[in-house]
Amino acid sequence: MIKIPGEKLIWMYKTMLKIRHFEDKIHRLFLEGNMPGTIHLYQGQEAVAAGVCANLERSDVITSTHRPHGHALAKGVAIKSLMAELFARSTGCCGGKGGSMHVGDPDVGMIPAIAIVGGGIPVATGIALAFKFQKSKRVAVSFFGDGACNEGSFHESLNMGAIWNLPVIYVCENNLYGASTSIRVAVKIRDLAERASSYGIPGVVVDGNEAISVYQATSKAVERARGGQGPTLIECKTYRRGGHSRSDACNYRDKEEEKMWLTRDPVVILRERLTKDGILTPEDSKQMEKEIEEELTQAIHFAENSPWPKPEEALEQVWA
Amino acid sequence: MIKIPGEKLIWMYKTMLKIRHFEDKIHRLFLEGNMPGTIHLYQGQEAVAAGVCANLERSDVITSTHRPHGHALAKGVAIKSLMAELFARSTGCCGGKGGSMHVGDPDVGMIPAIAIVGGGIPVATGIALAFKFQKSKRVAVSFFGDGACNEGSFHESLNMGAIWNLPVIYVCENNLYGASTSIRVAVKIRDLAERASSYGIPGVVVDGNEAISVYQATSKAVERARGGQGPTLIECKTYRRGGHSRSDACNYRDKEEEKMWLTRDPVVILRERLTKDGILTPEDSKQMEKEIEEELTQAIHFAENSPWPKPEEALEQVWA
Amino acid sequence: MRKLTIAEALREAIAEEMRRDEKVFCIGEDIGIEGGFGGAFTVTLGLSDEFGHERILDTPISELGTTGIAVGAALMGMRPIADLQYGDFIFLAMDQLINNATKLRYMSGGKLKVPMVMRIPVGASLRGAQHAQSVESYLVHAAGLKVVCPSTAYDAKGLLKTAVRDDNPVMVFEHKLLYGAKGRKEGMDARGEVPPEEYLIPFGVAKVVREGGDVTIVATLRMVYEAILAAEELKRASISVEIIDPRTLVPFDWETLFNSLKKTGRLVIVHEDNLTGGWGAEVAARVADEAIDLLDAPIKRVCSYDTPVPFSPPMENFWVPGRERIVKTVKELFSS
Amino acid sequence: MRKLTIAEALREAIAEEMRRDEKVFCIGEDIGIEGGFGGAFTVTLGLSDEFGHERILDTPISELGTTGIAVGAALMGMRPIADLQYGDFIFLAMDQLINNATKLRYMSGGKLKVPMVMRIPVGASLRGAQHAQSVESYLVHAAGLKVVCPSTAYDAKGLLKTAVRDDNPVMVFEHKLLYGAKGRKEGMDARGEVPPEEYLIPFGVAKVVREGGDVTIVATLRMVYEAILAAEELKRASISVEIIDPRTLVPFDWETLFNSLKKTGRLVIVHEDNLTGGWGAEVAARVADEAIDLLDAPIKRVCSYDTPVPFSPPMENFWVPGRERIVKTVKELFSS
Ligand SMILES: Cc1ncc(C[n+]2csc(CCOP(=O)(O)OP(=O)(O)O)c2C)c(N)n1
Ligand SMILES: Cc1ncc(C[n+]2csc(CCOP(=O)(O)OP(=O)(O)O)c2C)c(N)n1
Ligand SMILES: [Mg+2]
Ligand SMILES: [Mg+2]
């Protein structure tokens, strides 16, 4: 067990809080019709993004999925530019070209999210290959869902990451469903982390609602990666608090299961832990929430007052 | 251990002998310039095709690869029509449309071989799905190489075969190389059969140069499949006696390794075993060889005297 | 007569075919889960109640594998209807479609057939670059696939039923903005009359959506509606537009097109798939070969631009070919 | 001047670029194994001796993964040259090419770039339906890829070097029958003069392979040689043929083509990729739009048929467009 510095713990907590408030706000704005397109929200999985990214430097690089807001916030994409992207404005982190499913910012180490399930896994592996070539200590992290573990890209990538000992960490957020499909009908095994053995790399299962567990596992994986010992597959068992996208009522989920998981709120779990350990007071938390709300208000203001992209901008930035 | 009936053993031996003679002959004919295109020969792996197919009925269906002659002979494709296909004649089993890499005959339960590495694995899985739908007792078998185990199609198919308990058997012929690439640099694990655990199905390793071991493992897998208990992954460790294709001299293979494997000739191994067990006499074997040679001579005569397809036939059989 | 949305019409077609022939089954992600969505666009909603989960078969997220499984099942006499969720995922499945589905019959010397259907939602609908592409043209180029593009509920039902009975692999493209009731976009009420009696629509028979004498517009899917809007506007400029919806791109009804050109002498092709190498190029090329004498003007194409699909509405609107670009292009044909 | 085969010219281009820029590396199956083949067509043979196995990186058989890995490495400033072994395998890799390589720059609002090269052998060479396809047209349609088709050793070297230095994903198509020394087919000596000094060939500049005044033939790769044979024969019939090899399909040198048509007024497009929806359709469509007034005759295409590639030589020969079909088609243009 690594001892986690206090400021890291606070950072994780604040990041999770930020994600939670951000997503709750987005959900409301979306339902009110302020945002075009579709969204996939991250509430319930905050401990994964925060616990993983707390181990990363700005120069480390992540790939993400159709459910990327949490990863973006945890990796340091500016909240204003994230918000503006969801509002489809030219000040968005992708200039309005990407939208919710493609947010990212290479300047802080996040490739625009790849919304093809499994599509980011080879890309992260290639990023890690570049790092190895460049003899740098940077690592790549690929976030993906349980559903992605059944894509060919998962298989091919983990194998190559393994044989070349690449500095890449494969983070599977097993929220038990791929859209409406339970992982129990999609695979016949208990833990997706078991699949690591097919590639000869370590596979670990952690409680994805416990930021500290996620942190610990990632810390070890990052150390391995930076040390040239190759990839790790980390399976974080977690749960979406809401629907798969937009207004999904999750009627395909077992109500008992839902109840059980919803009581295990990762934000609350970390708050209680930090409070118990005397690292955080209820006042600190309140203060944080206040700051976050203010930041969000500003970000929304920024986004709403940002210009729309000009139609013809559609033709730009195809070619380098 | 299942006791194998004598006539099965004899059938296996004769099939292996037939494959060996067929491939040796083809090789010569090819080098002499009698056959267009390229070929991938099966010498050294005969025990796999024979040991597996000895468990199958004519109505069971196999998929094959770029190296399909052995599978074709073992599954019962007529030697004449096989030969004629290699000679590119209209009497060939594919009417001259397929060639060496695509031989097959649905009438005896062999889909035209699929030369895209890994491409037959989903197809066999779908065939098994049809059998399940049709409540038949037929099974599907997919033959593929060690190289194919790193394709996404392998991963996706085994998972679906597993979750639906399909009557399909995945036979990996691990001849230690995918073209020039050693399996030791292509994966980090020892046995490819280990990968079965990723899908929750049994994975077994057998000596692929021992027809009897292959038979035993397949027998169990077929029983499971016909009984609705789902797929098995069988890894047969074996070795190509010759090059990957055409005139490959195998300079990438370790000479010690080569020597070791070449002494373990699957035809000789089975012959000695059957002789020892009193099932086969040297005279029987000689007689078989004679018959096979005659059959081959006739097949070549048939092929050489068969008409070429008419050029315009290229336009036919696209649409049903 | 009763009106159905395209989603409803497709659902009815599937149900009827599944009742008629027990070899027909559906396979795809999220198509039959209890409490789920019935596919990304509700087409299979409720079907597992009648047909069970074996015949409305939910899969893991494995497009290459499921496509290959559909091929394999079809080879053994089943008639799979595979649901691709979004056309953008076709690039994962192409090996099985192009290397196997189109070739196994040929390679078997005509012994096998691959009677499978794939349903492929296409079109930009504010979902960004990877859930928006129109991918018909790739499959038009892949010899051995039939390609179907219904623009109305009536056509959707009749063509899908024909697709299921066809002995070849058939790709059915469905436009996301046309599935539902009207109102998603101006002028686009894809809800339409569908008789309760059974009917089939043959492949290769185009529909003259609107008769006119000055210019022929060929369009499919959502673009049919944009063409209609454009035609209305052009009428006010005294230009009479004939609109042809080929309904199937493979096989293509050249006769109806050439007959139209005999009247109009002018051709504009409209598709949402991007310009370069799109199926419109094939239409133009055929006309420039076999019917060039009928032309009084250059052949024009109004297509999306050769860029990824942008997300932000002003850019997406600009990117998708629409009434204005069609009107402008047609007018140019008459001003020179 | 010294003569090189296309395989040698490509090898030299790779070696020079790898020496010049340490970010360049090769990735693919069987490309650098000791005692191995140097790829399916010897292009990388011996390169691992100089550059080591890290920069001539052998992969498992995992086309989708390796393509995605190339994309990822390119995003981080590397310059991968991916070897696809056979064009037929592109269908496994398309998701990474089309959904990522062409879109990540765009989705990032212009912050990223994907400077990768993929080398893709194409063409029928008696290997049957799955090792024979010409797949250029699929990638011409995929907006965001540059598409290169060298037909000589000189072009192969100069264009590949340009491809490596390009900041965009570039698909380089190489014809299997052109790699080696002469003699594989009549008239096809792709061995050619290659100066020892460094040179680059810009994209988008066509080459007039042969000047003539009666008809323009546009052809690439092996078809250039068939066109030359046809031109010789047509000369005897007093028809003077101009042959244009565009060398890059994206970008395409329209100016050179239109200038030629000003002289000839007649256009025949020849490609080995199959007819329907092939890149020839795009060429025809552009001409029928922007240069229709230059035409004195229908636009003809001589392409392979819309079927899988047959194996048996008489069928394959018939299937691949060749001198005779070109001659016949051109003559028809003059007989009507
Ligand atoms: C290749 C591909 N197939 C299907 C989809 C449609 N789709 C989007 S999200 C999703 C479920 C993904 O499940 P999972 O990977 O577990 O991620 P989660 O949504 O649970 O975060 C599906 C099927 C897609 N985007 N890409
Ligand atoms: C998808 C695909 N990639 C690459 C190839 C080229 N190729 C043909 S055979 C072969 C090696 C296959 O190795 P393995 O699966 O072990 O079969 P083996 O040749 O040893 O029987 C390769 C790379 C191919 N046919 N298909
Ligand atoms: Mg999930
Ligand atoms: Mg092998």
For residue D241, the surrounding DSSP H or E stretch is strand D241-245
pTM of the model: 0.98
In chain D, residues with a C-beta closer than 8 Å to the C-beta of C282 are: 276-277, 281
CA distance C27 to C41: 15
* Alpha carbons within 13 A on the beta-carbon side of D230: 30
Side chain identity at residue B138, one-letter code: R
Ion ligand 4: residues, CB < 5 A:
B 145-146, 175, 178
Tell me the average pLDDT of chain B.
97
User: Of B152, B154, B199, which is closest to A151 when you measure between CB atoms?
Assistant: B152
Chain segment D104-160, per-residue pLDDT in tens: 999 999 999 999 999 999 999 999 999 999 999 999 999 999 999 999 999 999 999
Q: Is B178 on the interface with C (CB under 8 A)?
A: no
Tokens of C235: 């009428």
**CA separation, residue A136 to residues A63, D112, D165 (Å):** 18, 20, 23
**CA separation, residue B233 to residues B141, B195, B204, B213, C211 (Å):** 10, 8, 6, 14, 61
Burial of residue D116, with CB atoms counted within 10 A of its CB: 0-12 exposed, 13-18 middle, 19 or more buried = buried
CA distance A136 to A128: 10
Which pLDDT belongs to residue C191? Answer: 85
CA distance D128 to D125: 8
CB C271 within 8 A of CB C303: yes
Number of H-type helices and E-type strands within chain A:
11, 7
Torsion of CA A124, A130, A133, A137, to 10 degrees: -70
CA distance B107 to B103: 12
Pairing of strands B177-178, B181-182: antiparallel
- Cis? peptide before D251, omega within 30° of 0: yes
Domains and their CATH numbers in chain A? 6-306 (3.40.50.970)
CA distance A83 to A306: 11
CB contact under 8 A, C65 and B153: yes
Which pLDDT belongs to residue A2? Answer: 82
Q: How far does residue C161's CA lie from ligand 4's centre (Å)? A: 44
Q: How far does residue A179's CA lie from ligand 1's centre (Å)? A: 6
Phi and psi (nearest 5°) for C3? Answer: -110, 140
Q: Is C129 on the interface with A (CB under 8 A)?
A: yes
- Only one residue has tokens 């030369």, namely B115
D131 among known catalytic residues: yes
Pairing of strands C248-250, D3-4: unpaired
For residue B121, the surrounding DSSP H or E stretch is helix B120-133
CB contact under 8 A, A181 and C30: yes
Which pLDDT belongs to residue C181? Answer: 61
Q: Is B184 on the interface with A (CB under 8 A)?
A: no
Task: Label residue D183 by pLDDT band (50, 70, 90).
Answer: very low
When pLDDT is averaged across residues B160-174 and rounded to a whole number, the result is 99
Mutate to test the interface with C, among B77, B90, B110, B123 (most CBs of C within 10 A): B123
Which pLDDT belongs to residue D182? Answer: 52
Q: Given a contact as 3+ CB pairs under 8 Å, which chains touch A?
A: B, C, D
The DSSP-derived string for C290-307 is HSGGG-SS--EEEEE-SS
Indicate the CATH number for domain C207-335: 3.40.50.920
Is the C-beta atom of C138 inside 6 A of ligand 1? no
Tokens of A53: 């990214």
Which pLDDT belongs to residue C185? Answer: 66
Q: Do domains D2-194 and D207-335 have the same CATH topology?
A: yes
- 3-state secondary structure at position B193: helix
Task: Label residue D335 by pLDDT band (50, 70, 90).
Answer: confident
Q: Flag whether the ipTM exceeds 0.95.
A: yes
The DSSP-derived string for A88-136 is T-TTSTTTTSS-GGG--BGGGTBPPP--STTTHHHHHHHHHHHHHHTT-
The full set of domain ranges for chain C reads 2-194, 207-335
Residue A253: name the closest of A184, A202, A166 by CA: A184
User: What residues in chain A have per-residue pLDDT under 50?
Assistant: none
Is the C-beta atom of D29 inside 6 A of ligand 2? yes
CA distance B271 to B14: 10
CB C166 within 8 A of CB C158: no
Is the C-beta atom of A145 inside 6 A of ligand 1? yes
CA distance A124 to D96: 12
CA distance C271 to D219: 27
Torsion of CA C276, C278, C280, C284, to 10 degrees: 60
Q: Is C153 on the interface with B (CB under 8 A)?
A: no
CA distance B144 to B165: 20
C2-11 CB burial, b ≥16 within 10 A, e <16: eebbbbbbbb
Strand partners, A144: A172
Tokens of C71: 């091929």
Tokens of D266: 């007649």
At residue D58, does pLDDT exceed 90? yes
CA distance C271 to C221: 8
Q: How far does residue B261's CA lie from ligand 2's centre (Å)? A: 21
CB A44 within 8 A of CB A260: no
Q: Is D298 on the interface with C (CB under 8 A)?
A: yes
Side chain identity at residue C150, one-letter code: P
Residues contacting residue A283 through CB under 8 Å, at least 6 positions apart: none
Which pLDDT belongs to residue C336? Answer: 64
Q: What angle do CA C13, C18, C20 make, to 5 degrees?
A: 95
10-residue mean pLDDT series, chain C (336 residues)? 95 98 98 95 97 98 98 98 98 98 98 98 96 98 98 97 98 96 64 95 98 98 97 98 98 98 98 98 98 98 98 98 98 90
CA distance A244 to A240: 8
Which pLDDT belongs to residue D191? Answer: 85
The number of beta carbons lying within 10 Å of the beta carbon of residue D165 is 16
CB B185 within 8 A of CB B213: no
Burial of residue A197, with CB atoms counted within 10 A of its CB: 0-12 exposed, 13-18 middle, 19 or more buried = middle
What architecture does CATH give domain C2-194?
Answer: 3-Layer(aba) Sandwich (3.40)
Chain segment B30-53, per-residue pLDDT in tens: 999 989 999 999 999 999 999 999
Chain segment A7-16, per-residue pLDDT in tens: 999 999 999 9
When pLDDT is averaged across residues D267-287 and rounded to a whole number, the result is 98
Phi and psi (nearest 5°) for A169? Answer: -120, 125
The sheet carrying D170-175 orders its strands as D56-58, D24-28, D79-83, D117-122, D170-175, D146-148, D248-250
CA distance D123 to D18: 28
Pairing of strands D24-28, D79-83: parallel
CA distance C176 to C6: 10
In chain C, residues with a C-beta closer than 8 Å to the C-beta of B157 are: 65, 68-69
| Nearest ligand to the C-alpha atom of residue A71 | 1
CB C62 within 8 A of CB B156: yes
